[in-house]
Amino acid sequence: AQTVTQSQPEMSVQEAETVTLSCTYDTSESDYYLFWYKQPPSRQMILVIRQEAYKQQNATENRFSVNFQKAAKSFSLKISDSQLGDAAMYFCAYRSTNDYKLSFGAGTTVTVRA
Amino acid sequence: ETGVTQSPTHLIKTRGQQVTLRCSSQSGHNTVSWYQQALGQGPQFIFQYYREEENGRGNFPPRFSGLQFPNYSSELNVNALELDDSALYLCASSRGLAGTDTQYFGPGTRLTVL
């Protein structure tokens, strides 16, 4: 079974600054997908960014980028130029190519200070 | 918003009762997955339906069951409710089973078991 670990329960960042969220995972597979989802308070969970393991290039979506280290099984999320609307719980998730379920970490709560 | 809707928003039941939760998938999506999210934790996969058939199941007892209808909406049924069933229940729909098919989440149903 795949295990996803987010070691930072909470992170705080000043508006306009950068914050990096950590995620590690355990798998014996060589091909898989990794995701970061954002869950604002009382709002729907939305996909922030996705990374295919066979792609060496790190995914980027506007102010969000990842640092994917396949050998280290590490998948961190960097939020640049943080905005008040970035405040949310962020979940790292893993999906095998042989399975269809998402395996989630415990989440990191991000607080943005004005 | 993702286009995935769930009903009801909140529900209070007593131990031993039965509950049915409903999910309407996004237009064009034929796959629905259900997740249980306990307070302060990441979502846990319950099961998935693809074209009206159960396609995979997580570590949940048989008293958790589901259905998918011809319009691809879905129900989650839980019998003999236990206190530990108190959680946010999320459904997610996707266009198919490919790894590139993003799962879009609904707002969830908050179930409280007393």
Question: Which residues 44-63 of A have a C-beta within 8 angstroms of B?
Answer: 44-47, 50, 52
Helix (H) or strand (E) run with residue A32 in it: strand A32-39
| pLDDT tens for each residue of B31-52 | 999 999 999 899 999 999 999 9
Nearest one of B55, B62, B64, B59 to B32, comparing CA atoms: B55
Residues B46-71, mean pLDDT to the nearest whole number? 94
Q: Are A50 and A37 in contact (CB under 8 A)?
A: no
Q: Does the distance separating the beta carbons of A103 and B45 come in below 8 Å?
A: yes
Residues A11-17, mean pLDDT to the nearest whole number? 97
Q: Can you give the pLDDT at residue B53? A: 92
Q: Ranked by mean pLDDT, which of A1-5, A54-58, B56-60 comes out on top?
A: B56-60
SS3 of A53-108: the string is: CCCCCCCEECCEEEEEECCCCEEEEEECCCCHHHCEEEEEEEEECCCCCCEECCCE
| pLDDT tens for each residue of A35-62 | 999 999 877 899 999 999 998 899 999 9
pLDDT score of A32 more than 90 = yes
CA A72 to chain B, closest CA, distance in angstroms equals 22
Strand intervals (E) in chain B = 5-7, 10-13, 19-24, 31-37, 44-50, 53-57, 64-68, 74-78, 87-94, 104-105, 109-113
pLDDT score of B88 more than 90 = yes
| pLDDT tens for each residue of A65-112 | 999 999 999 999 999 999 999 999 999 999 988 778 899 999 999 999
Nearest one of A89, A100, A47, A77 to B35, comparing CA atoms: A100
Peptide bond into A41 cis (omega under 30): no
pLDDT score of A1 more than 70 = no
Nearest one of A50, A107, A99 to B58, comparing CA atoms: A99
pLDDT score of B99 more than 80 = no
Q: Does A16 touch chain B (CB under 8 A)?
A: no
The count of other CB atoms within 10 Å of the CB of residue A27 is 17
CA distance B32 to A37: 17
